[in-house]
């Protein structure tokens, strides 16, 4: 469902971020993307949700070439991919409920359906009692749960996360990782860049290691493979 063929990314300033990436990620897989800082993990992830475009090569999500779609169809692609960031990126003037509802409003979901779905989502992430709180009233772990609810709002087939536990303490990180596992068990594909060695080593999922813009390792029940 996610395919890359001969993908290169050279940034405008000449930075060579990715070279000749070939990969297939099947429906329902859970993939950790690991590697040193500056290796190209974020770029790899940004190409998937079309935040960046490849300099060369093809990227398909559910059979659609994401680099060839017409501008007006990009929202449709993005709707099918939920994205979770290290810094949460919640809208500060909206409650948790409104942050999640907003993701459905922009794709013109009927109000009644939104109410129902948002409640369902807060149950999924275990925050039913925090729906009316503003982001600055939430802990980091709670903010990330809201961000995950938002990413799941439109029932995407893929969740992409760039260091989602990077700002969280180890215990909170485990809770967030278990939530991603639950989401994956429900059938959503998960692709996650992470520096969280302990979690990767214990979860025994597929691990793709990127170094200097190239995939240097791709193991089905892999390990983190770096000291820190
Ligand atoms: P990682 O996520 O593994 O830390 P990145 O994908 O962020 O790696 O970066 C890969 C390389 O591309 C690095 O050399 C980085 O400096 C460069 N890079 C990332 N984003 C940009 C950008 N917007 N413009 C120019 N160079 C960039
Ligand atoms: P991450 O690796 O988590 O993406 P970074 O701190 O590397 O975080 O990057 C933060 C932002 O700066 C990203 O949007 C990235 O694209 C951009 N960036 C990273 N490296 C460069 C660079 N060398 N030149 C320009 N922008 C960059």
Atom of ligand 1 minimally distant from the CA of 42: 2
| Under 8 Å between Cβ of 50 and 78 | yes
Rounded to the nearest whole angstrom, what is the distance from the C-alpha of residue 171 to the centroid of ligand 2?
27
* Residue 39 Cβ < 6 Å to ligand 1: yes
Q: Which ligand is nearest to the CA of 33?
A: 1
Nearest residue by C-alpha to atom 4 in ligand 2: 42
Q: Is the ipTM above a cut-off of 0.85?
A: no
| Under 8 Å between Cβ of 167 and 8 | no
Q: What is the mean pLDDT of each run of 10 residues along the chain (228 residues)?
A: 97 97 98 97 96 96 90 84 97 98 93 97 98 98 98 97 97 97 97 96 97 98 91
pLDDT in tens, 180-195: 999 999 999 999 999 9
Given its phi and psi angles, is residue 213 left (phi above 0), alpha (psi -120 to 50 degrees) or beta?
left
* Residue 226 Cβ < 6 Å to ligand 1: no
* Residue 15 Cβ < 6 Å to ligand 2: yes
| Under 8 Å between Cβ of 66 and 3 | no
């Amino acid at each position: 469902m996610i395919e890359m063929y001969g993908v290169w990314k050279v940034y405008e300033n000449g930075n060579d971020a990715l070279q000749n990436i070939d990969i297939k990620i099947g429906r329902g897989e859970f993939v950790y993307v690991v590697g040193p800082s500056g290796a190209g993990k974020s770029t790899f992830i940004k190409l998937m949700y079309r935040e960046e475009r490849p300099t060369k090569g093809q990227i398909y999500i559910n059979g659609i070439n994401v680099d060839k779609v017409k501008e007006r169809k990009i929202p449709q692609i993005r709707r099918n991919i939920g994205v979770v960031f290290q810094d949460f990126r919640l809208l500060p003037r909206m409650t948790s409920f409104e942050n999640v509802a907003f993701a459905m409003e922009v794709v013109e979901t009927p109000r009644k359906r939104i109410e129902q779905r948002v409640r369902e989502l807060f149950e999924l992430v275990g925050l039913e009692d925090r729906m009316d709180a503003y982001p600055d009233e939430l802990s980091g772990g709670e903010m990330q749960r809201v961000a995950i609810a938002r990413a799941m709002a439109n029932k995407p087939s893929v969740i992409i996360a760039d260091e989602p536990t990077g700002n969280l303490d180890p215990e909170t990180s485990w809770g967030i990782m278990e939530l991603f596992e639950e989401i994956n068990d429900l059938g959503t594909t998960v692709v996650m860049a992470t520096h969280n060695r302990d979690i990767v080593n214990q979860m025994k999922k597929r691990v793709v290691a990127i170094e200097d813009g190239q995939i240097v390792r791709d193991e089905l029940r892999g390990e983190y493979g770096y000291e820190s």
